[in-house]
């Protein structure tokens, strides 16, 4: 084979290592180079690295998926479609033209390579990325390639993964990933195209509508919860609130019934007990051991970050991915709650002795005779639970990265902690035949909570000394009228948990599904509200293709994907079953396309009109201020909806460049509604359009 030059470097018979991202390629090259200083080159703007070891290693990054699925034959204006093929993304997507250079670079650099290794992330997506690059760009090298398996980008683990690679690619995992993409494509392309074309053919206008194998069932149970809330009829009930006086201290007491169904009964309790003394009948004191929490899997990390910091699941995953690429934490897309000893507990703890905020905690754990983490039941064959690698940041972390890294570090320390010990006191009090309870709790031993501060949540309620037969006077007794509440709305965190419980989506895709529901306008707000458009879409699917919103069907498909991964089912079998399920649903949909198109178009028009409403008109107070466009000039402005009724002519100018949208917020200075103005390449800013507001912050457009 002739010797060739790679950007001036004469090389022959080298190893080509395929990686998933440029950042990980650099880390892998640095870890594997004998001097830790690989050479960096560029080919048509595509970076790659040459490391010297026992032989030359050419480490080339991808930028995610270079190949995608497309309709093999036919036009985009029809459905159903069941014939597809995998193709380079630049041939299928307008915004992916540079993908061509990445594929060409892999092809060129593979020419003189005699050994091939996939070092993409060890999960379904990473395995699939490496497989298609080796198969198509490198000319069928997927059958002879080896596989590096690692959970962190630390030098030691990367060296071990290179020295002891898997002898072949993980084909069962690849087959499961390929099947998942193809099934999702069959669902997504057909259902989204059916919705979009129905609306377009009825209205003559194009609107982006979508649904899919996971998106549909997720929207379905959100809609069911919303209907429960709308249909809920509150019923009144009463509660007793009381305060007891003990040794010059005032403490809250709890009435024996948490809910009283009639006001008469509540009044009788108040009349009999207000200002009266009662006797302490029993005092129960018990001690409870509280075990440490489990190590983080991706779902619990996302939920904890939402609870503590308000980060969306998608944002948390993105932050965790950046920390992984910086070799600060292990691979985050894991469902495991296990921490195997091979990760090196003591090595990691010793590393944290160098960090002031963790030094004393790490030293305390290292004094233990045995380091044994508390683990959960969930396992992941590819990766352990999320843990800090022990590597300290090479540069200052941003605020969000620092928070998530600190949370992961403290959770890791916590799982090695002792049980916390709590003392719980319950005293029963009899007042004229009615029972009240005094409850106290205090922490006797912090145990693991010491390591999880400031994230550990435990509120103490300290009571004065109290014994049986003591007399206690109820200083204040009142009744409160309340009403039963509907079930709570989901937030992104609780929705993520619900999807996990139902077994729909994967640990890596659930956050993106939630994000898509927001982007499509099907849901809004942090406490998730299903919009009218979301209801109309799910109603259409329920009426004309009900099987496609079934969580049960989605869960069964997830199980089949797992069976493929375990070599218990064939990809072709699953694809054939999906096609047979889709055919009758789509035929029924097409038969009713006109009525479906009308419903969807009306829903979209209502949604678009709602999106233009800025707020109530401050002048007439009955109309809505709306973003409108002049038919004569084409310019946009804010006008009152009562203008067309001849009631109000209020209007305000708007910037004519960039995009504007209502914020739902009000100006702190004058109380008028605000809009968000966004110019390309500039930071968005809030605009108060009240000309008399001193803090309107108007700018020239």
Cα–Cα distance for residue pair 389/383, rounded to 1 Å: 13
Nearest partner of 628 among 617, 620, 679, judged by Cα = 617
What does the chain come to in residues?
Answer: 701
Cβ-in-10-Å burial (0-12, 13-18, 19+) of 691 comes to exposed
Say if residues 601 and 203 touch (Cβ distance below 8 Å): yes
Query: Residue 436 — φ and ψ, nearest 5°?
Result: -125, 160
What are the φ and ψ backbone dihedral angles of 82, each rounded to 5 degrees? -125, -5
331 is catalytic: yes
Two tokens, residue 590: 């097409």
Task: Give the residue among 432, 149, 412, 504 at the shortest CA–CA distance from 270.
Answer: 432
Question: Given phi > 0 = left and psi -120 to 50 = alpha, else beta, which region is 634?
Answer: left
> Which residue in the block uniquely carries the two structure tokens 């009306």?
602
Q: How far apart are CA 219 and CA 504, in angstroms?
A: 12
Cβ atoms of 306 and 493 within 8 Å: the answer is: yes
Query: Distance between CA atoms of 294 and 471, rounded to whole angstroms?
Result: 44
Distances (CA, A) of 99 to 68, 88, 90: 11, 8, 5
411 close to 293: Cβ distance less than 8 angstroms: yes
In 324-338, which positions are buried (b, 16+ CB within 10 angstroms) versus exposed (e)? bbbbbbbbbbbbbbb
Whether the Cβ atoms of residue 449 and residue 420 lie closer than 8 Å to each other: yes
Sort residue 339 into left (φ over 0), alpha (ψ -120 to 50) or beta. Answer: beta
Catalytic residue among 237, 331, 434, 490: 331
Catalytic residues: 331
């Amino acid at each position: 084979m002739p010797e060739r030059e790679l950007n001036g470097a004469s090389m022959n018979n080298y190893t080509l290592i395929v990686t998933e991202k440029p950042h990980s390629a650099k880390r892998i090259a640095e870890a594997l180079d004998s001097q830790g200083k690989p050479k960096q080159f560029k080919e048509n703007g595509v970076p790659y690295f040459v490391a010297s070891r026992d032989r030359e290693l050419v480490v080339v990054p991808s930028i995610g998926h270079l190949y995608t699925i497309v309709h093999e034959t036919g036009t985009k204006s029809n459905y159903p479609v069941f014939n597809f093929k995998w193709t380079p993304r630049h041939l299928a997507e307008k915004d992916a033209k540079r993908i061509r250079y990445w594929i060409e670079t892999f092809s060129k650099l593979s020419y003189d390579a005699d050994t091939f290794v996939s070092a993409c992330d060890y999960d379904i997506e990473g395995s699939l990325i490496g497989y298609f690059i080796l198969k198509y760009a490198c000319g069928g090298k997927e059958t002879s390639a080896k596989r590096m398996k690692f959970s962190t980008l630390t030098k030691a683990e990367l060296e071990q993964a290179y020295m002891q690679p898997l002898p072949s690619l993980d084909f069962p995992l690849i087959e499961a990933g390929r099947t998942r993409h193809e099934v999702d494509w069959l669902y997504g392309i057909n259902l989204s195209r059916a919705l979009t074309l129905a609306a377009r053919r009825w209205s003559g206008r194009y609107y982006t509508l979508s649904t899919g194998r996971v998106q549909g069932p997720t929207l379905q149970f959100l809609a069911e919860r919303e209907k429960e809330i709308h249909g809920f009829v509150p019923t009144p009930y009463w509660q007793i609130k009381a305060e007891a006086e003990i040794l010059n201290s005032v403490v809250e007491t709890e009435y024996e019934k948490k809910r009283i169904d009639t006001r008469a009964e509540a009044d009788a309790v108040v009349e009999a007990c207000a200002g009266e003394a009662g006797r302490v009948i029993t005092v129960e004191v018990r001690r409870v051991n509280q075990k440490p929490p489990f190590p983080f899997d991706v779902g619990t990390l996302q939920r904890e970050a939402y609870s503590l910091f308000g980060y969306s699941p998608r944002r948390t995953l993105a932050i965790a991915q950046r920390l992984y690429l910086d070799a600060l934490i292990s691979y985050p897309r894991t469902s495991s709650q296990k921490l195997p000893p091979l990760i090196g507990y003591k090595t990691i703890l010793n590393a944290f002795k160098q960090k002031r905020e963790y030094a004393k905690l790490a030293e305390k754990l290292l004094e233990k005779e045995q380091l044994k983490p508390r683990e959960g039941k969930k396992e992941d064959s590819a990766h352990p639970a999320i843990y800090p690698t022990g590597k300290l940041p090479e540069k200052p972390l941003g605020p969000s990265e620092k928070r998530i890294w600190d949370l992961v570090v403290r959770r890791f320390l916590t799982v090695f902690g002792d049980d916390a010990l709590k003392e719980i006191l319950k005293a029963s009090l009899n007042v004229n035949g009615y029972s009240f309870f005094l409850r106290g709790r205090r922490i006797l031993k912090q145990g693991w909570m010491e390591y999880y501060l400031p994230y550990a949540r435990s509120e103490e309620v300290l009571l004065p000394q109290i014994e049986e037969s003591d007399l206690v006077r109820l200083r204040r007794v009142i009744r409160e009228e309340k009403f039963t509440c509907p079930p709570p709305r989901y937030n992104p965190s609780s929705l993520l948990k619900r999807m996990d419980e139902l077994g729909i989506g994967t640990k890596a895709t659930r956050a993106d599904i939630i994000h898509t529901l927001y982007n499509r306008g099907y849901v809004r707000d942090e406490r998730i509200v299903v919009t009218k458009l979301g209801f109309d879409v799910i109603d259409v699917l329920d009426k004309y293709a009900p099987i496609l919103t079934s969580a049960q069907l989605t869960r069964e498909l997830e199980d089949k994907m797992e069976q493929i991964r375990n070599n218990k089912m064939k990809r072709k079998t699953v694809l054939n079953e999906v096609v047979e399920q889709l055919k009758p649903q789509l035929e029924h949909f097409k038969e009713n396309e006109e009525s479906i198109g009308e419903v969807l178009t009306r829903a979209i028009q209502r949604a678009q009109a709602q999106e233009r409403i800025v707020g109530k008109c401050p002048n007439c107070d009955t109309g809505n201020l709306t973003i409108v466009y002049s038919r004569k000039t084409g310019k946009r402005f804010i006008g009152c909806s009562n203008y067309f009724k001849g009631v109000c002519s209020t209007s305000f100018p708007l910037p004519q460049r960039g995009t504007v949208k209502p914020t739902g917020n009000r100006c702190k200075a004058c109380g008028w509604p605000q809009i968000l103005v966004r110019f390309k390449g500039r930071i968005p800013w809030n605009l108060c359009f009240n000309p008399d507001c001193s803090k309107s912050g108007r700018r020239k457009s």
